[in-house]
Copies of this chain bind each other. A is one copy, B any other.
Amino acid sequence: MILTVTLNAALDITYTVPALTPHASHRVREVRERPGGKGLNVARVLAALGHESVVTGFAGGPVGAVLRDLLAPLAPHDALVPIAGTSRRTLAVVDDASGDTTQLNETGPTVSPAEWAAFLSSYDSLLREARAVALCGSLPPGIHVGAYAQLVRRAHAADVPVLLDTSGEPLRRGIAARPDLVKPNADELARLTGSREPLRAARDARRRGAHTVVASLGPDGVLAATPEGVWQATPPAPVKGNPTGAGDSAVAGLLSGLVDRLPWPERLARAVALSAATVLAPAAGEFDAVAYEDLLPRIAVTERVAAA
């Protein structure tokens, strides 16, 4: 199975309103709820691709209970660790006419040292069955900023390839523990390295410890700096839609290609096709399976020759 870790799992709530106006009162037309957090999204896409997937992280309180109830009928297996605090909500307020979205994200529950210890013990057990592990998203309060570095080292000790998808200081610290793969977007990569030139920044991130860096570049696809070479993969044409979850689908594509032992160009094509098919899907965070099959053979992957 493939394990995904979401330390700050969330109940994703979507409100539809005619148009959000600050300091006015709005009647919410439609309320939707889904289990959220990057690792949960990744696990759902992995399951849709035919992989067994297991989600872990933390869930607690009444919001955590709703999250787990909504997760129960879905394909990923629930190995979330219970906590005393209440899981966070994320709220997307969507303007009905334009589709523009205003995002309000709660911080998340404070995790106690005993809960973190319980998680580590569960994580080590799950690693024994895992073919790959993805560490995804922000850290909840109470978790030390070097937590991802600790989880990367434990994955190495268990001989499980590890992908890290986070930002800021947890990314900086996590990279130093030498994960197999990081998948920053252009902004995260620039914040890490100080460079907005993707190839230069990706190489810098490799020097900081990541074996492979796959930078997601939005409509320009992905740029991969690997020990075997540098590739760029781009969709055949720009896709229009909701980019929510596109990065998580790319992570799922990379993990799927890793356990299927695909060569880099095919892995990247899978990641880019899934990402574009997610932008095209009507529901945020889902992917359009027909669009995926259609896009997959049409992703252009070009090797970039390294400068001397």
Contacts and interface: CB of A to CB of B under 8 A. Distances in A.
A104 B28 contact: yes
Interface in A97-111: 100-107
A107 B28 contact: yes
Contact of A31 (B17, B21, B28, B106): B106
Nearest to A138: B27
Interface in A41-73: 62, 65-66, 69
A91 B26 CA distance: 10
A23 B100 contact: yes
Contacts of A238: none
B105 A26 contact: yes
Interface residues of A, number: 28
A28 B106 contact: yes
Interface in A5-29: 15, 17, 20-29
A93 interface: yes
A102 B62 contact: no
B102 A23 contact: yes
Contacts of A31: 106
A43 to B, nearest CB: 23
A105 B62 CA distance: 20
Contacts of A65: 62
A105 B28 contact: yes
Contacts of A21: 22, 102
A31 B89 CA distance: 10
Interface string A84-125: 000000010101000011111111000000000000000000
A140 to B, nearest CB: 13
A105 B26 CA distance: 6
A200 to B, nearest CB: 27
A27 B100 contact: no
Interface core residue of A29, A93, A101 (most chain B CB under 10 Å):
A93
Given A62-B66, A66-B62, A20 B105 contact: no
B102 A22 contact: yes
Interface core residue of A22, A65, A66, A105 (most chain B CB under 10 Å):
A22
A137 to B, nearest CB: 14
A31 B13 CA distance: 15
Nearest to A104: B26
Given A23-B95, A26-B102, A28-B104, 17 more contacts: A21-B22, A21-B102, A22-B95, A22-B100, A22-B102, A23-B100, A24-B102, A25-B105, A26-B105, A27-B105, A27-B107, A28-B105, A28-B107, A29-B107, A31-B106, A62-B62, A62-B65
Top 7 A-B pairs, shortest CB-CB distance: A25-B103, A23-B100, A28-B106, A20-B22, A62-B66, A26-B104, A22-B102
